[in-house]
Each structure stands twice: as C-alpha cells, then as structure tokens.
Structure 1
Amino acid sequence: MCGIVGAAAARNITPTLLDGLRRLEYRGYDSAGLAVVDGKGQLSLRRSVGRVASLTAIADQVDGHVGIAHTRWATHGRPAENNAHPHTSSSQVAVVHNGIIENHQELRARQIEQGFPFSSETDTEVIVHQIDWHMQQGLGLLAAVQATVSELRGAYGLGVVSKLEPDTLIAARSGSPLLIGLGEHENFIASDMSALIPVSNRYMVMEDGDIAKITSTSVEIFDLNGQPVERKVIISHLSDEETELEGYAHYMKKEIHEQTRAITETLEGRLGADSVLELPFGDNAREIFDRTKEVKIIACGTSYYAASVARYWFEEFGIKCDVEIASEYRYRKHVVNPGTLFMTISQSGETLDTMAALEMAKTMGYSNTLCICNVPESSLVRASDLTIFTHAGREIGVASTKAFTTQLVTLLMVAICLRRRRLGDGRTIDAMETEIVNELRTLPQQIENVLSLEDQIIVMSKHFGDKEHALFLGRGAHFPIAMEGALKLKEISYIHAEAYAAGELKHGPLALIDEDMPVVAVAPNDELLEKLKSNLEEVRARGGKLFVFADAESGLRSDDQVMVLNVAPVNNFIAPILYVVPLQLLAYHVALLKGTDIDKPRNLAKSVTVE
C-alpha cells in the first residue's frame, strides 16, 4: 500500500488529486487510480497500471467536487487494473486503503453469501462491500464506515466517497498514517503532507481510531465510540523547493550531496564549546538520561544498521546496548532490566513494525521511551516520552542517505550524553568528549571532502556494470556500515549484495570468491586494521578483485587486484558516518550504469506501513 489523496471542494478536484499522486510517486507504487462524484451525481472511476502519467491520460474528462485517489504497491493481488484502488461496490461507494485487513477472508466468505460480486484479489474490496452493505441497511455514509471499521482486524487508512452523499468525504485511521489538510472552502486528506503542498499548509494528524466527516466547508472528527474529538491544527513548512531536483538527475544524488547541510542542521544548537548540550533534546531529556542504565534499540532496514553502529559506541562508553529488528522483537519473550531505555529509530515515524514494538514495550517495564525521527507529529513521535529530531529535511529517494547519516550523528550525541552518567554526575566533560565534539564540528567539511572523490568512485563503479553479485566486508563498527553499503547496492542496482564481518570470510563466504565476485571493504585506520588486511589477503589469494575505501594512512595501495580509494584520516568515533558516503555514491553510480529507476526501485516503498 502506498499513497492516499482525497478532496472535498467547491471546484473540480481531479487536477488536485492527480497532482497529489505525482507528489507521492517517490514512495513507490505499481498502479494508480481515482474516483470522483461528478456533476451528475455519478461515481466516475479511473484506474491504470504503471505511472500516474498513464492515469492522467485517461482522467482528463473526469470532473467532480469530491473524490479520492491512490497509488498502490501490490500486497494482496498482483499489479493489475482490477486490483488497483479505488475499489467500488454497487457503483455507489468507493474506497482507497493503506494497510492490511487480517480478517478479509472471513469477511469475503460472508459477503459472497450475501451476493456481493468480487472483481479483485485484494483485501481492500471487503471494506467497500461492507460499507455498501451497511448503507443498504439504512445507515448514512459516516455511520456505515463507523460500523465497518468496528468489524475490521488489522491496519487501515481509509478514504471513502459515495454518490448517495455527493458532498461528503470520510476518512478513517488505525495503524496507517492519515492527515486532514485545511483550505478555504475546501478540505483534503492525504497519507503524506507533501501531496498537499500547493493547496494547504494547515493540517491535522488523525490518531488511531479517528473517523472524520469532511465537506468543502467543515471537518468533524469522531473517536471509535462516535464521540466528537478535537485535533491540533499544525502549520506545515514544507515547500516545493524541498521536492524539486534543483539540477540533479535524481533525488538520491541530491540527497547524498545534501548531507553536508543536513548534518550541520542536526548539530545546530546541540554542541557547546566542548560538550554535547542536553537541553536542546527536550525539557525532560536530562531526567530521562539520568534514569538510564542500559539501552534497547528497535528499528528496521537502514535505521537498524544505524542502531547497530551505535551499539559499538554505547558499549565503548560502558553502556549496555541491545539492538533488534522491530518485526522480530514483537514475537519473542523478553527480559527487561531496571533502568532500560527503549529507543526507536525511524525516518518517517510511521514504520508499522517499529510502532507496534513501541506499543508492546510500553507494557513491559522499560524506564522510558525515546524516538529518533525526522518527521514531527508522526505516530512514533506522539507515542514516545522523548523525541530527538534528526533535522535531515525531506528525503524523497526510497534508498535512505541523509536520513541515515543524521541518525548516526544523533545516536552519537545521545551516547555521549549517557557516557557522562558513567563518569559521575552527568555533567563532567573530559578530553574524550571534547575531542569527539571537535570532530563533529568538522564532520560537514569532512563529508564535503569525501564528496569530492566522486570522479574516482565513478571509475570504480564501472567494474560493477556487468556483475550480478558483490560482497561487502567490514570489522567492528564498520561491519554495519558494510551492511548498509550492501543494502544500498542491492536496493537500487538490483545486484545481489551481502555483507559479512571480515573475520567470517573463512567460515563460508570465501567459497564464493572468484574474479566475478567484486569485494568491497571498509578500512579505517583503527585497532582492527591489521586484522582486516589479513582478511583482504585471503581474498587476493583466491583471485578476487578488491575495492577498498581506506584511510590515507592505512598503508593500503592499489595494484592489479586492488583498487584503493583513500579517505582522509578521521577520528574513530566519527569514521563510520564518513565511510558510508562513498558507499552511497558507489551504489548510485552502479545503478546509473545499470539503467535502473534509482529513486523508485522496484517492489520498494519509502515508508513501510504494513507488516
């Protein structure tokens, strides 16, 4: 599931719906559709497989004042026009849906008995038939949606319209993000505020259980019990500037180069003369840090690799740290020690598995919850005791870049704050902290220096153009960086890439080494460098071709089997943040050679809001 847009206005809203879908294309999708109630009171439906441009070509004659639109990633049912949203029932109700309905088979069996025909393979179709059934029993549209959601198990963000109530748009949310945009004599819904940039900068975030009745002039929100509720009006500062390519060929390339600015903004106001300041993290940050004896970090994908790097920092500082994938955390027993801080990391703040893990953790005796996130007013932010924002700015490319590096910077600052508790009263500043803070100040310039190596990385990328597999190696905190590098390559170039701790080579991966298996290694000048060199010699002895990102003082040099790209010397705590940048550039330029859709890689979505 992916993007939702809806509108109720005193004008034709089809162009707004289509523009909103275009603005959500970065999330990834395989089909698109819209449904509007036209001037004759009829429900007009248009759906197509492929890009929003294909939908636009068949929707130019559709005219209506109330409507819904959707971009879909296939979950239940293959990419096909009959599986695209919106879905309709009896030609009188239309629904768009993000999420998964877990009891759809049970509902489908009952509806078939009631005589409803099914035209799709989706779980969503049972929602529209159930709403239709309740309306046939005499309920209005709002009451029919309220009755229907009480019968659903799973997650949903819904937009619903009906030709029987041609001025009304209904929205409902449980576990899948949805917001309401406010305009002048027009109101909107969207799964992402970026869809509404041209038409609204005021919005309300729907909370789980909310059901809203929306017209061009009014918005009413009710809880699951049907009681009216108020939601805070927020001013959005998103602009078209943030969503423009500004001369770059791809958003990913732009966002790689934006890391200098993004990290500068993440550090802004958080560094003192020689220390990390705690107050900018929030009024209750010091109190929460004072209570923390150990840390449990939960995340998915790229954010999990950021957490895995941070584990080395926390434990180097004497703070026990455990890291786990959110989807695995939820399905096993746990022992929670007193004083354990439960930390979640998510770029979007809407990752369903991470959100579900947080809700579970609240019942298990953790001392507090902390969220590292890039999106204010997201679900994780609102559910956490403390939120530390990364200030990465909008990230549109599906493959995360600046969100990852700003997460690492934020995690390092949190680790430093907790380290001070290990030293005494939490306010003691020592030489190590001062050194790391000074290095953090220079980090944006150091990243700029790495970006200047791009021409050399382009040369390196040409060795991957005809390859189908690649191996990434790292040791210590750079093993997760190798994992992130492999993830980037597989995400956007579709080369099968795996990462291993370099010391594991002889425990299996060495069997794969030959001239067709490029091996990428991360080689900072740390205490594990000599061990890594030995591992690299094992690759050379088997005829493997090595591509090494190495500290300029490492002693590693290029030859017929080894291509070395030298990175300027850097503090060991800062090194993982720096070394991921050339891996991002390598993945980008390999994908460019492969001719893949870099910003919208197949089968992937920007925000994963289903299990």
Structure 2
Amino acid sequence: MCGIVTAIATGNVVPVLLEGLRKLEYRGYDSAGLAVLAGGLKRLRSTGRVAELAALAEAKELRASLGIAHTRWATHGGPSERNAHPHISGGLAVVHNGIIENFEAIKEALEMRGYRFESETDTEAIAHLVHAKLESGADLFEAVRLATNELVGAYAIGVIAEAEPERVIVARRGSPLLLGVGEDGMYAASDTAALLQVTRNVIYLEDGDLAELRVDAYRIVRPDGTPVERDVHVSSLSADAVELGQYRHYMQKEIFEQPQALASTLELIAGGGSISPQLFGSQAADVFGGVRRVLVLACGTSYHAGLVARYWLESVAKVPCTVEIASEYRYRDSVPDPDTLVVVISQSGETADTLAALKHAKSLGMTRTLAICNVPESAIVREAALRFITRAGPEIGVASTKAFTTQLAALALLTLALAKLAGRLPEAEEGRYLIALRHLPVAVQKVLELEPQIEAWAQRFAAKHHALFLGRGRHWPIAMEGALKLKEISYIHAEAYAAGELKHGPLALVDRDMPVIAIAPADELLEKLKSNLQEVRARGGELYVFADAGSEIAESEGVHILPMPEHYGMLSPVLHVVSLQLLSYHAALVKGTDVDKPRNLAKSVTVE
C-alpha cells in the first residue's frame, strides 16, 4: 500500500513528483523519497510525511527532467530512512508497491554474487536483480523485463538508470499503475489523482505489462516481450475533486459529499419507473437467472456493507445470502455452488484479499460474479462478469464514508433487481422503494444538519478509553461500522454487538466509564432494544441513543437522545451510519489525532 509517481518531461519534474506524492499520501505516509537524474543519480529520502521530503528538495534546489518518487506504508522493515524508497543498486534506482513473495530466495542468490543489502525491504532485491541483468549485458528495458519475470507476488515498479537518462521503465502485476500522456512529457502513477496536475489522458496498464516512457513516446510489451496497444482514456475526474476546499479534512469533506454521491450513484433510476437487471450490465438477466443464493466477499467497511445486504436480500428478495471476509474465504474448504451469485465489494477495486477471493471463487466454478466498486478500470471490475460502478468520486480519507453509503445504495438496487426477477416485488412495492431511493440524498442531508448536536456528544465522551456500540437486525452491521470508524481515527477502543448478546458477556464491561452508543430505529425490534438499554442503565452505564421519530425513548439522567429526522425503513442503515461517521470525526478532532491519515493504516490495501 504505497504510492508511486514517475515523470520524464521537457521541464523540471521535481514539483510534479512532489505534488503527485501529496495526492497519493493516503496510500502510505510513514516515509517518502525520490530519485532524479541531475548530473548523476541523486536520491532524497525522509521518514514521515511528504512535506518533509519537499522541504529537503527545496533546500537542495533540486531540479531534473526525469525522476521517480514514492510514499510508503511499511510491509518489510519498519519506517526508517534506510527502508524508504527509492532503493539503489549501482547507478539505478527503483520504487515499488506490493509484496515480493520470493524475495528471500532472490536475496540469497544475489548475496552469493556479492550484492550487499542495506535495508530490510523486499524492494532492494528488485533493484539488485535488475542491476544483475544489466551486468549480464541487457539494456534497461530488457533488464526490467527479465527481472520481473522472476518475481513472485504483487508489484508496481518504476526504474531509472544513470546510464540511460532518456527513459523511465515501469511495470505492474497485481498492484495498480497507470500512464499519463502529457503534452510535455510522459508520466506514471498509482492513481489518476496524482496526474491531474499534468494530464487527464491516462492508460490503464494490464497485469504483466511493462512500459518504456520517453519525453514524447511510450511503448508497452507483455512479459514475453510482445508489443501491445492500450487505449487512452480521458479521465472524468477533475482536479477540484481531490482538493479540500472549505473543509478541514478530507473525511469531513467526504461525509458532506454523501448526498451528491448517492444522487450520482442512483442517477440511473432517477427518471425510470422500474428496477431493471440492466443496471448491472447487459448480461445481468442471464447471470442473475437461476441464482439460488448470494455469496458476498469483502473486507473492512465493505464487509459491513455486505452484512447489511444480507438482511435485505433475505427479507426482500428471499434469496439466501452468506457474507465472508475475503481474506478468510480462500483459505478454508468451502462448498462451491455454480448457481451462487458471487458479489465482491471494494472501494478501490485493487483490494488484494478481495481480488484473490474472487479468483478463488471462479476457480471453483462459480462464474456468476458481480463487482461493486468505485473505480471503473480496476482489477476487480475487470475480473468480474458484471459490474456496478458506484459514483462516489475520489475518496482520499483513509476511513471510508461516502464509498460505504454508495455501496449500500448499489446493494439495495441489487436486492430489488433480484426480487423483481424472481417475481417477489409487487409493482406497488417497487414504486415505494423507488420513491425512497430517490429521496435518500435529501434524507442524508437532514442527518448532516445534526452535526452541532453530534459534536457536543463527541466532546462528552472523547476522553473515554473504550466504547460499546449496540444495534439489532440490519442495524447491527451499522453498529460494527460505527465502532470501526471510532477506533480507526480516534484510537478509542470500540466494540460492537448485536444488542441481544449484551447479557451473554459484554454486559460485564458496562460501567459509568464505558459509554454505550445505541442505534434505535422505529422498527420491529425496537421494544427488544429498549429492554437491552434498560440492562445498561441498571448497571450504571451511560447511553447515547440515535433514536428515530416515534421510538418514544425518553431522555433522562445517563440517557442522551439524539432524534433522527425520519424513519427510513429498509434504507434506515444509510441514515444512521452518517450520524456515526460524524460522531467519530468529531471525537477524533477533540483527541487531536490525524483524521485523514490514522496511524498504521493506509487507504488502498494492495497487499495480503
């Protein structure tokens, strides 16, 4: 989970490299570095943030027309300058995203040839391996091709060499990398956002692609050296979309972008009078036909979206649904069923565990696959038979917000499409769901207007060390998501339970120092939840309750109530999670943590 930027241009590329790293810092931020050719190979590295690297470059008045840069999230070796990229061997430098699984064997062979390793990283093995190929007589392009053919694992790499100052070589397998075709040069990066400063014309490299970049040209080959052509796409992403604007943090910006993100995601049903499987692709009716069950594979926040969808699919579409953590699914014996619809959910579309789980499911004969993702050209989207692209826009904050709510919107549409295809969605009921979905952006906007009250709550319990979240039914996964958000960005230890489980163990933790956050929608489980809340009060616990209108839960000593604007039926989880996002955000502000870049975490998890 690292960010790469490379550039070769007619002018000074150092500002381009640094600005690109700033845009990619969400992918890793424990160290940063760059290498350029400027009267020889020059390297700068620093621990910490990109700003420190920029200060070093400014102090040295660094200028060059060719270079590579990297921001790191540590995998092999801790955060330190010696482990920071780029890594050097002889007169060449390498940056790398991913994990090389056979690096120890490569390292051992290279050490026997006299290569000395100075870092703990797997990346240094790539640098020495490419250098060894150069020493054997290959040019830089061929040396990188031969070296990558020996690598096992995931990688995106950028390579420059002192002896060949007219080109940059890049390659990818399993980790994202795209090219940028500019008017004054050629570029490559892990994410489009890093290149918007110089171009919107991008080329998405396929797994195994190797590319040579020159100032005014590029070429792409496959691992065996066969030339290939890749389409140039004009990115619809604007530079403004990745700027903070009026907001203090990207997380705050993305929380408040949710009404628009939902409206964009649901635009396909804005004027239609019915739900169609065509929302999921032209072949959706064939893929969905005969589906007997659904298997959802996802990680983290996306896994919680899948858990909510399980309640929807089984209650509305009457389709059995299993939700599995992707990183566990492929490592256990499971019973494949070709009539299962495999749904994979990922914000980035590059989540390594989810991609591997999808490939594993397909290898078992489960080829009815659907990707719900925010990035159209991502690996997971390309791997699945069907796709639904959420239109959340770029999500920079590490803690996911708008990606989650748009995933829920997509899963609601999937539920209705499967229900209709199975003849389980009467026309009048379909109409009611359509009205609710179209009104959803307005309903979320009303929740955002509760921010001042939620901020006051955050002030009251941010000093606590632990918190307990409770929910029932389809709101239990929302309690899980609320707990995850709080621990991610405020570092308050938080756990979530189905409220009925309280008396089976967690009640032992409840006292006045353990705030309990409860989600209380006015649904069929409300009375059961009220009994669970009484159990908390009887033990001296302090309650913070997000209560729907009509829930009739009274505020009293130790019981704080925040009335939600409206009850929203099946889609109620979307509204309640927004309130929990705001709670976590303001708790983190009180504690003074780094909201957008929480410790030890990164955004796009491209390693297992």
Q: What is the TM-score of this pair, normalised by structure 1?
A: 0.97
* Segment of structure 1 superposing worse, 229-238 or 563-572: 563-572
* Equivalent in the alignment of 1:417: 417
* Equivalent in the alignment of 1:395: 395
* Equivalent in the alignment of 1:53: 51
* Segment of structure 1 superposing worse, 489-498 or 62-71: 62-71
2:529 to 528, 532, 535: 532
- Secondary structure of 1:477's match? helix
The one-character-per-residue Cα deviations of 1:92-127 (angstroms, maximum 9, x if unpaired) are 110000000111112212222211111111111111
1:431 to 428, 433, 447: 428
Displacement of 1:150:
1.5
- Secondary structure of 1:370's match? strand
The one-character-per-residue Cα deviations of 1:404-444 (angstroms, maximum 9, x if unpaired) are 001001100110000112227xxx64332222221112111
* Segment of structure 1 superposing worse, 395-404 or 289-298: 289-298
User: 2: distance between equivalents of 1:436 and 1:125?
Assistant: 55
Q: Contact conserved, 1:550 with 1:565, CA < 8 A, in 2?
A: yes
Counterparts in 2 of 1:13-28, with a 5 A limit? 13-28=13-28
Counterparts in 2 of 1:208-227, with a 5 A limit? 208-227=207-226
User: 2: distance between equivalents of 1:126 and 1:31?
Assistant: 19
* Equivalent in the alignment of 2:553: 556
Displacement of 1:336:
2.0
User: 2: distance between equivalents of 1:503 and 1:131?
Assistant: 59
1:259 matched to 2:258? The reply is yes
User: 2: distance between equivalents of 1:502 and 1:262?
Assistant: 31
Counterparts in 2 of 1:273 and 1:223: CA distance versus 1, 3 Å: closer
User: 2: distance between equivalents of 1:414 and 1:107?
Assistant: 46
In structure 2, what residue type is equivalent to 1:393?
A: G
Length, aligned pairs only:
605
In structure 1, what residue type is equivalent to 2:603?
A: K
Counterparts in 2 of 1:319-330, with a 5 A limit? 319-330=319-330
1:519 to 516, 534, 554: 516
* Equivalent in the alignment of 1:93: 92
In structure 1, what residue type is equivalent to 2:289?
A: D
Q: Contact conserved, 1:343 with 1:369, CA < 8 A, in 2?
A: yes
* Equivalent in the alignment of 2:7: 7
* Equivalent in the alignment of 1:285: 284
In structure 2, what residue type is equivalent to 1:396?
A: I
| Runs of 5+ unmatched residues, structure 1 | none
Q: Contact conserved, 2:27 with 2:72, CA < 8 A, in 1?
A: no
In structure 2, what residue type is equivalent to 1:316?
A: S
* Equivalent in the alignment of 1:483: 480
User: 1: distance between equivalents of 2:185 and 2:251?
Assistant: 34
The one-character-per-residue Cα deviations of 1:358-410 (angstroms, maximum 9, x if unpaired) are 12222212241110111111111111111111111111111111110010011
Q: Contact conserved, 1:65 with 1:167, CA < 8 A, in 2?
A: no
The one-character-per-residue Cα deviations of 1:143-171 (angstroms, maximum 9, x if unpaired) are 11111112111110000110011111111
Displacement of 1:272:
5.2
Q: Contact conserved, 2:467 with 2:517, CA < 8 A, in 1?
A: yes
- Secondary structure of 2:482's match? helix
* Equivalent in the alignment of 1:543: 540
- Secondary structure of 2:590's match? helix
User: 2: distance between equivalents of 1:182 and 1:22?
Assistant: 20
User: 2: distance between equivalents of 1:538 and 1:173?
Assistant: 55
1:591 matched to 2:588? The reply is yes
The one-character-per-residue Cα deviations of 1:174-196 (angstroms, maximum 9, x if unpaired) are 10000011112410110001001
Displacement of 1:10:
2.0
User: 2: distance between equivalents of 1:224 and 1:22?
Assistant: 31
- Secondary structure of 2:588's match? helix
Displacement of 1:271:
4.7
* Segment of structure 1 superposing worse, 134-143 or 334-343: 334-343
* Segment of structure 1 superposing worse, 104-113 or 454-463: 104-113
* Segment of structure 1 superposing worse, 398-407 or 107-116: 107-116
Q: Contact conserved, 1:28 with 1:601, CA < 8 A, in 2?
A: no
Q: Contact conserved, 1:26 with 1:599, CA < 8 A, in 2?
A: yes
Q: Contact conserved, 1:270 with 1:277, CA < 8 A, in 2?
A: no
In structure 2, what residue type is equivalent to 1:564?
A: I
Q: Contact conserved, 1:170 with 1:214, CA < 8 A, in 2?
A: yes
User: 1: distance between equivalents of 2:45 and 2:3?
Assistant: 14
1:577 to 574, 577, 590: 574
* Equivalent in the alignment of 2:452: 455
Counterparts in 2 of 1:42-441, with a 5 A limit? 42-60=40-58, 61-90=61-90, 92-271=91-270, 274-317=273-316, 318-423=318-423, 429-441=426-438
Q: Contact conserved, 1:292 with 1:367, CA < 8 A, in 2?
A: no
In structure 2, what residue type is equivalent to 1:452?
A: E
Q: Contact conserved, 1:285 with 1:386, CA < 8 A, in 2?
A: yes
- Secondary structure of 1:463's match? helix
User: 2: distance between equivalents of 1:71 and 1:235?
Assistant: 26
Displacement of 1:20:
0.7
Counterparts in 2 of 1:247 and 1:272: CA distance versus 1, 3 Å: closer
In structure 1, what residue type is equivalent to 2:52?
A: S
Q: Contact conserved, 1:309 with 1:480, CA < 8 A, in 2?
A: yes
User: 2: distance between equivalents of 1:570 and 1:437?
Assistant: 16
Displacement of 1:278:
3.4
- Secondary structure of 1:275's match? coil
Query: What's the C-alpha RMSD, in Å, of the aligned pairs?
Result: 1.3
- Secondary structure of 1:287's match? helix
In structure 2, what residue type is equivalent to 1:607?
A: S
| Runs of 5+ unmatched residues, structure 2 | none
* Segment of structure 1 superposing worse, 277-286 or 386-395: 277-286
1:467 matched to 2:473? The reply is no
Displacement of 1:273:
5.2
Displacement of 1:269:
2.1
Displacement of 1:214:
1.2
Displacement of 1:50:
1.1
* Segment of structure 1 superposing worse, 104-113 or 401-410: 104-113
* Equivalent in the alignment of 1:565: 562
The one-character-per-residue Cα deviations of 1:67-95 (angstroms, maximum 9, x if unpaired) are 100000111111111110000012x1100
User: 2: distance between equivalents of 1:442 and 1:453?
Assistant: 18
User: 1: distance between equivalents of 2:446 and 2:78?
Assistant: 45
Q: What is the TM-score of this pair, normalised by structure 2?
A: 0.97
* Segment of structure 1 superposing worse, 501-510 or 301-310: 501-510
Q: Contact conserved, 1:274 with 1:429, CA < 8 A, in 2?
A: no
Displacement of 1:498:
0.7
Counterparts in 2 of 1:272 and 1:237: CA distance versus 1, 3 Å: closer
